[in-house]
A and B are shown apart, each in its own frame.
Chain A
Amino acid sequence: MAMLEIHNLHVEVDGNEILRGVDLKVEAGEVHAIMGPNGSGKSTLAQTLAGHEAYEVTQGDVSFLGHADFLEMPPEERARLGFFLAFQYPVEIPGISNAYFLQSSVNEIRKSHGLPELDAIEFQDLLAEKMEQVNVPMQFADRNVNEGFSGGEKKRNEILQMAVLEPRMCVLDETDSGLDIDALRIVSEGINKLRSKERGFILVTHYQRLLDYVKPDYVHVLYRGRLVKSGGPELAAELEAKGYDWIRQTADV
């Protein structure tokens, strides 16, 4: 059984069906890219997997690490199992430092695995190590969560969280959007450093450019709530060359 298995997933938002039967298997160590035009359901898939209550699953199922009841779990339990969503629009939390936020997060996850909590000093060491790993400036620790961060800094902060929490499955929702070329390179390097045999990735993206830096094993095209095309990295290049109209023409018939 694959680490993440999505079977015939149908999702509604405010009564509108957005996902209309998605099937996908992701093994540990694999990187899958999901591309698609705006409105195809990419973010819906990411938010549904993370457990946002506004997304109602009407059909289908998802299993993660053998947990067939994954969709019944509240978001925090999914995170504790090792599921991670890097948000397209990370929220700003005034008054709470990044370090405190992440320490609380790490300790909740550790507690759920029966591990002792990290004290402030142990956590500082961990955080410093991870900041170096993904090339994030030390000031990030004391700044309030995403408050006053530029678009690029917010995305880098998501990668830092991913590094600290060491999830098994990472879904990156349009992490490349709003990044200039330097920020895109830094973020991509961070992702590449976190690739491992134990960890799976789904990169949700509109453009090919992220995939120039982070080489996917598989590329899927999501269109009108279904994965209409799957292939290797060459599919991304083809999409870039031909545009999404090419998909529309083949899929709408």
Chain B
Amino acid sequence: MIPTTSNALWPHFDEDSGRVQSLGGPAWLQTIRRAGVERFAELGLPTHRQEAWRFTNVAPIVKAGFRPALNQPGRTVTAEEVTPLLYCPSWPRIVFVDGVYAPGLGRLQGLPAGVTLGSLATAIAAGDVSVEQHLAKHASETSGFVAMNNALLHDGAYLHVPDGVTLDEPVHILYLATGAREAAAHPRNLVILGAAAKAAVVESYVGLGTSAAYLTNLVSEFVLGEKASLHRHKIVEEGAAGHHLESAAVVQGRESVVESYAMTLTGRTVRNELNVSLAGDGARAELKGLYLNDGERLIDNYLQVTHAAPHCYSRMGYKGVLDGASNAVFTGKVHVLPGAQKTDSNQLNNNLLLSGDATIDTKPQLEIFADDVKCTHGATIGGFPREHLFYFQSRGMTAAMAHAILTYGFASEVVHAIAVPELRARLAKYVFDKYSPK
């Protein structure tokens, strides 16, 4: 039974979830959708009374009442518009416009045998058993937005790299928002790496020259088998009025390795939620992020790492540049479950405050239920030391120029750690152009 309260939470929700269900699909998928509808009614939308959303007000997003585009993107996007967004034309890629799969813009060729890259809807229609096995099994309903994504689950990017296979080139997942219909997209990504499989993924979320309001409500699931290795790069370049809410789940098997970069460059409201479960002995997760905030924007990075097995290693290193009257939130939670002995974990959040009107709420947290662990955390908020500025000035540069160069240096540290050269170069140039002396 569909509760009648959902429309009150989100305009036209019942109608839209009904439309999605009428798209059809296997019984297990309809079960996920229906459960999502019910959970959404139960959970409702997050409010500032919930600790995880205390500083992130979603009321303006709710009020706008964005509706899913489903099969109809706001407008047609040409290949010429996509070309400048590519880091390397030879990379395999999959493209979505307003959440709608755009096969003509993608490039699915050139992958090793046995690798599946394609639209999730296509894989479901083809009866891919791995999809059924993993979809919606890992992303917990941490908020009503995840439940909503489940209720409206239709399509997204799907990558499956079988056991022992290494991808030579990164896979590029591109989500373009046209803003043409002020629509919502509720995309769903599923990435499965088999045992000892290796892959790099670059996800781009781009507002395509639009100043219109829209919503990307994304849920992603990453599943790593034993000794698998994933380099994940998420680049958020949503439009000036584009809202981006994400909940990602990463589940790691024994001795698997994840290196994750969450780079938030633009967008009106951006929440990057990342829940990592170190489920297998000796798994390692290195989570890095950079957020460049200005104007009246809001960027919320919410990270949870659960050490569920012994001998696991996790690092969080997030840096933010805060200008204008912007607001940023950083939450880093590390849970060490009973039995997760020899856990090695560190969290660090450094914030550079360029304006007295910008705010940052930062909260590294530890919850430890094992006794033989090494866990550290820290956060900094501030400007540049006077001695640094003086050093630049003593070499003929003004304090303003010193500020600009130091800001570039602060931000570029995260960029320089990226292993993919094309991506590193592009982001370095972005940061340089944004902050270097004019």
Instruction: State the 9 A-B residue pairs at the shortest beta-carbon distance, nearest first.
Output: A95-B409, A75-B393, A79-B396, A96-B409, A105-B395, A108-B396, A109-B396, A95-B413, A76-B393
Please, how many angstroms separate the alpha-carbon atoms of A112 and B406 in the complex?
22
- Asked if A80 is at the interface of the complex by the 8 Å CB criterion, the answer is yes
Are A95 and B397 closer than 8 Å at their CB atoms?
Answer: no
Q: Assuming A104-B401, A104-B437, is B388 touching A93 (CB within 8 A)?
A: yes
Are A165 and B396 closer than 8 Å at their CB atoms?
Answer: yes
Counting contact residues on chain A (CB < 8 A from B), the size range is 20 to 34
- Asked if A50 is at the interface of the complex by the 8 Å CB criterion, the answer is yes
Residue-by-residue, is A98-140 near B (CB-CB < 8 Å gives 1, otherwise 0)? 0011101100110010000000000000000000000000000
Q: Assuming A75-B390, A91-B387, A93-B388, is B397 touching A104 (CB within 8 A)?
A: yes
Please, how many angstroms separate the alpha-carbon atoms of A54 and B411 in the complex?
29
- Asked if B405 is at the interface of the complex by the 8 Å CB criterion, the answer is yes
Are B411 and A75 closer than 8 Å at their CB atoms?
Answer: no
Nearest-neighbour CB distance to chain B for A1, whole angstroms, equals 24
- Asked if A90 is at the interface of the complex by the 8 Å CB criterion, the answer is yes
Instruction: Give chain B interface residues in 387-422, CB to chain A under 8 Å.
Output: 387-388, 390-399, 401, 405-406, 408-413, 416
Partner of A105, one of B387, B397, B399, B410: B397
Write out the residue numbers on chain A whose beta carbons fall within 8 Å of the beta carbon of B385: 91
- Asked if A85 is at the interface of the complex by the 8 Å CB criterion, the answer is yes
CB closest chain-B residue, reference A86:
B394
Write out the residue numbers on chain A whose beta carbons fall within 8 Å of the beta carbon of B401: 104, 108
Are B397 and A108 closer than 8 Å at their CB atoms?
Answer: yes
Q: Assuming A108-B397, A109-B396, is B408 touching A95 (CB within 8 A)?
A: yes
> Which residues from chain B sit less than 8 Å from chain A, CB to CB?
385-388, 390-399, 401, 405-406, 408-413, 416, 437
Instruction: Give chain A interface residues in 134-178, CB to chain B under 8 Å.
Output: 144, 161, 165
Are A161 and B395 closer than 8 Å at their CB atoms?
Answer: yes
Report whether over half of chain B's contact residues are helix, strand or loop; otherwise say mixed: helix
- Asked if A39 is at the interface of the complex by the 8 Å CB criterion, the answer is no
Are B405 and A104 closer than 8 Å at their CB atoms?
Answer: yes
Interface centre among A50, A84, A108 (most CB of B within 10 A): A108
- Asked if A66 is at the interface of the complex by the 8 Å CB criterion, the answer is no
Please, how many angstroms separate the alpha-carbon atoms of A95 and B408 in the complex?
7
Nearest-neighbour CB distance to chain B for A73, whole angstroms, equals 11
Nearest-neighbour CB distance to chain B for A11, whole angstroms, equals 16
- Asked if A74 is at the interface of the complex by the 8 Å CB criterion, the answer is yes
Interface centre among A52, A87, A93 (most CB of B within 10 A): A93
Are A95 and B393 closer than 8 Å at their CB atoms?
Answer: no
Are B397 and A91 closer than 8 Å at their CB atoms?
Answer: no
Partner of A90, one of B391, B408, B410, B416: B391
Nearest-neighbour CB distance to chain B for A87, whole angstroms, equals 7
- Asked if A94 is at the interface of the complex by the 8 Å CB criterion, the answer is yes
Nearest-neighbour CB distance to chain B for A148, whole angstroms, equals 13
Nearest-neighbour CB distance to chain B for A204, whole angstroms, equals 15
Write out the residue numbers on chain B whose beta carbons fall within 8 Å of the beta carbon of A91: 385, 387-388, 391
Residue-by-residue, is A67-88 near B (CB-CB < 8 Å gives 1, otherwise 0)? 0000000111011100011010
Please, how many angstroms separate the alpha-carbon atoms of A169 and B90 in the complex?
55
Instruction: Give chain A interface residues in 208-246, CB to chain B under 8 Å.
Output: none
- Asked if A200 is at the interface of the complex by the 8 Å CB criterion, the answer is no
Are A165 and B391 closer than 8 Å at their CB atoms?
Answer: no
Nearest-neighbour CB distance to chain A for B411, whole angstroms, equals 7
Nearest-neighbour CB distance to chain B for A169, whole angstroms, equals 13
Write out the residue numbers on chain A whose beta carbons fall within 8 Å of the beta carbon of B409: 93-96, 144
Write out the residue numbers on chain B whose beta carbons fall within 8 Å of the beta carbon of A53: 386, 390
- Asked if A36 is at the interface of the complex by the 8 Å CB criterion, the answer is no
Are B437 and A50 closer than 8 Å at their CB atoms?
Answer: no
Are A51 and B394 closer than 8 Å at their CB atoms?
Answer: yes
Are B412 and A95 closer than 8 Å at their CB atoms?
Answer: yes
Partner of A96, one of B390, B393, B394, B405: B405
CB closest chain-B residue, reference A100:
B405
Write out the residue numbers on chain A whose beta carbons fall within 8 Å of the beta carbon of B412: 95
Are A74 and B408 closer than 8 Å at their CB atoms?
Answer: no
Are A95 and B411 closer than 8 Å at their CB atoms?
Answer: yes
Are A96 and B387 closer than 8 Å at their CB atoms?
Answer: no
Are A80 and B413 closer than 8 Å at their CB atoms?
Answer: no
Nearest-neighbour CB distance to chain B for A172, whole angstroms, equals 13
Nearest-neighbour CB distance to chain B for A126, whole angstroms, equals 15
Partner of A51, one of B386, B393, B405, B408: B393
Nearest-neighbour CB distance to chain B for A153, whole angstroms, equals 16
Are B391 and A87 closer than 8 Å at their CB atoms?
Answer: yes
Are B391 and A96 closer than 8 Å at their CB atoms?
Answer: no
Write out the residue numbers on chain A whose beta carbons fall within 8 Å of the beta carbon of B388: 91, 93
Q: Assuming A90-B391, A101-B405, is B410 touching A76 (CB within 8 A)?
A: no
Write out the residue numbers on chain A whose beta carbons fall within 8 Å of the beta carbon of B396: 76, 79-80, 105, 108-109, 112, 165
Write out the residue numbers on chain B whose beta carbons fall within 8 Å of the beta carbon of A100: 405
Please, how many angstroms separate the alpha-carbon atoms of A74 and B389 in the complex?
12
Please, how many angstroms separate the alpha-carbon atoms of A80 and B405 in the complex?
18
Nearest-neighbour CB distance to chain B for A112, whole angstroms, equals 7
Write out the residue numbers on chain B whose beta carbons fall within 8 Å of the beta carbon of A108: 395-398, 401
Please, how many angstroms separate the alpha-carbon atoms of A84 and B393 in the complex?
11
Write out the residue numbers on chain B whose beta carbons fall within 8 Å of the beta carbon of A144: 409
Write out the residue numbers on chain A whose beta carbons fall within 8 Å of the beta carbon of B392: 101, 105
CB closest chain-A residue, reference B391:
A91
Write out the residue numbers on chain A whose beta carbons fall within 8 Å of the beta carbon of B405: 96, 100-101, 104
